[in-house]
Homo-oligomer: A and B are copies of this chain.
Amino acid sequence: MKNPTVLQKFIKPTCFASGSCLLYYCLYSINMSHLAVYGGAGALGRVLVNYFKERGWAVTNIDLVENKAAQFNTLVNANEDLQTQATKLDQSFETLLKGEKLKALFCVAGGWAGGNAASKNFIKNSDLMLKQSVSSSLIAARLAARHLDDNGLLVLTGALAALNPTPGMIGYGISKAAVHHLVQDLAAPGGGLPKGAKATAICPVTLDTPANRQAMPDADFSSWTPLETIAKQLHGYSTGEIPLANGKIIEILTKDGNTAFNQI
């Protein structure tokens, strides 16, 4: 997704459109776990939606555009101010969840732009990075505080690079530093998440996406992280099958086709 920062509220139960109305009414009566993916129409988001849906979860996509694979879509209008976006999304989830709670919420919206303070587009790119990474993460945090279940999981997207100075991509670095701080804030007592809920940020290096393969056809793909590998790991964190400490940054390193997830 290119600019996930403002949202035009609407809930579109994809199941209605496809005629399988029963699904909507059955979702909670059979106690399906519900996941929301902010950025669920992007490359990683789509894989997350599919992976969880195939394992029996109800999935809501939050994005600029619909993802028909998700059972529900709440679309974002990037021309509205942040408060309006948050309020409309909150109302969408109120309507959608009917008092039920999300078991997990992932924010994989984001983008990248480089440049230092002397770059012509420094202000424009920094502003864009703040909107793409920080605004979406703040809204995800707010939705988590309101709609995540006790012991639920909030996953944001950080960046390993931001653990050190990033002079060549300042807007990106300061935005990801803010996201890392947000994770620590939410994980601390009094951060506002529901009881027992956890917050974390995944930090992949290079994702193995079609766009990246097209952009870097000669790269070593065995050091790129397959999207399904991340989906599998997040599923494990969400169900509790894979232990996860609260408030950690998760370094995702792939080498020779093997991926390690290190909580740091």
Contacts and interface: CB of A to CB of B under 8 A. Distances in A.
A180 to B, nearest CB: 7
Interface string A129-168: 0100011001101101110000000000000001001111
A214 interface: no
A77 interface: no
A186 B171 CA distance: 11
Contacts of A139: 123
A31 interface: no
A186 B174 contact: no
Contacts of A179: 174
Interface in A200-259: 247
A86 interface: yes
How many identical subunits does the complex contain? 2
A175 interface: yes
Contacts of A193: 117-118
A192 interface: yes
A124 interface: yes
- Scoring A119, A142, A187 by chain B CB atoms within 10 A of each residue's CB, the highest score goes to A142
A168 B142 contact: no
B174 A83 contact: no
A110 to B, nearest CB: 15
Given A167-B185, A174-B181, 17 more contacts: A82-B126, A116-B185, A116-B191, A117-B192, A117-B193, A119-B192, A122-B138, A123-B139, A141-B170, A165-B188, A167-B189, A170-B182, A170-B192, A174-B178, A174-B179, A175-B178, A178-B181
